[in-house]
Amino acid sequence: MQTNAKTPLMRVHGISKSLGGREILKSISLNLYEGEMKVLIGPSGGGKSTLLQCMNYLIAPDRGHIELLGQHIDPGNHRELCLFRQQVGMIFQDFNLFDHLCALDNVSIALRKVRGMSKKQARERALSELDRVGLADKGHLYPAELSGGQKQRVSIARALAMDPKVMLLDEPTSALDPELVSEVLAVIRGLAQNGMTMIMATHQMGFTRSLADEVLFMQEGRIIEQGSPRVLLAEGSKTRTLDFCSQILDVEGGV
């Protein structure tokens, strides 16, 4: 377990954001330590997705800032911002694969165009990442030819290929058919066990119980509860988190 004396890998400092006159995030702060897995839970519209997108400046926060390894990120500096984003992997609910590229090229394109790798190097790296998510034989297929679970695994491979220091996962299994959820969770579980630092919005409660180091319960733009899942989700605890979780149907099955 981490101690607070350690410098956090990523630091979120008083992030606020209003969209369309509504305050979505109200001065959110949190620290992500190396190797830690945090899970964001809460009702939809609570700001989970906005928070994750603010963490790599896909949405510019109105106030507050982000630090990576103690370094303050200036989103006004386009070069610095691009370098920062390379170190922060992001997984989206609806995959967002590049439709005109096969799985292999989806993984290798950023290696070539952003990291400047040679075609051959990028290809080799992409193949090994596809292998890591169990899709080594699917590299030639286009997004339209892949199942939802396969698409999400390609998008994870694409993010991993950039050697991110931290991964932001925005409900990675919410758009999947129930029978495809487990293959994606298995990949994420493997990452967690290998020490990847992650923050993930999810409704997968069994997964959260077994893997999260900390649960953050978000509602109306605030983190209203946080703590280890053993405490927040203990039988009989009077937490808002447990109350919410008992209301949502757990569809994970054996995972």
Partner 1 sequence: MNEELVFLLHRLIPALNEGLIMSVKLIVPSAVLGLFFGVVVGTCRAFGRGIIKPLANGYAALFRGTPLVIQLFILYFGLPGIGIYLEPYTAAVLGFTFCSAAYHSEYIRGGLLSIKQGQLLAAQALGFSTLKTLTTIIIPQAFRRALPGCGNEIVYLIKYSSLAYVITCFELTGKAKVVASESFRFSEVFLVVGLYYLVLVSVASWGLSRLENKLKIPGFGH
Which residues, in sequence order, are CB contacts of 4 under 8 Å at separation 6+?
A: none
Residues from 90 through 109 that contact partner 1 (CB under 8 A): 90, 92, 94-100, 109
Stretch that binds partner 1, among 3-11, 129-137, 140-148, 181-189 (CB under 8 A): 140-148
**Rounded CA gap, 232 and 251, in Å?**
20
Residues from 3 through 22 that contact partner 1 (CB under 8 A): none
The single-letter code of the amino acid at 229 is: P
Q: How far is the CB of 78 from partner 1 (least distance, A)?
A: 7
Stretch that binds partner 1, among 36-44, 127-135, 138-146, 185-193 (CB under 8 A): 138-146
Q: How far is the CB of 159 from partner 1 (least distance, A)?
A: 8
Kindly tell me which of 80 and 124 has the beta carbon lying closer to partner 1: 80
- Under DSSP, the state recorded for 241 is H
The mark string for 49-88 relative to partner 1 (x by CB under 8 A, - otherwise) is ----x--x-x-------------------x---xxxxx-x
- Under the criterion CB under 8 A, does residue 144 sit at the interface with partner 1? yes
Radius of gyration of the chain from its Cα atoms, rounded to whole angstroms: 18
The answer to whether the beta carbons of residues 40 and 201 sit under 8 Å apart is yes
The answer to whether the Cα torsion of 175, 26, 79, 129 is positive or negative is negative
- Under the criterion CB under 8 A, does residue 175 sit at the interface with partner 1? no
Written as six digits, the tokens of 240 are 């808002």
| Beta-bridge partner residues of 105 | none
**Rounded CA gap, 116 and 112, in Å?**
5
Residues interacting with partner 1, by CB under 8 A? 53, 56, 58, 78, 82-86, 88-90, 92, 94-100, 109-110, 113-114, 141-145, 155, 158-159, 162
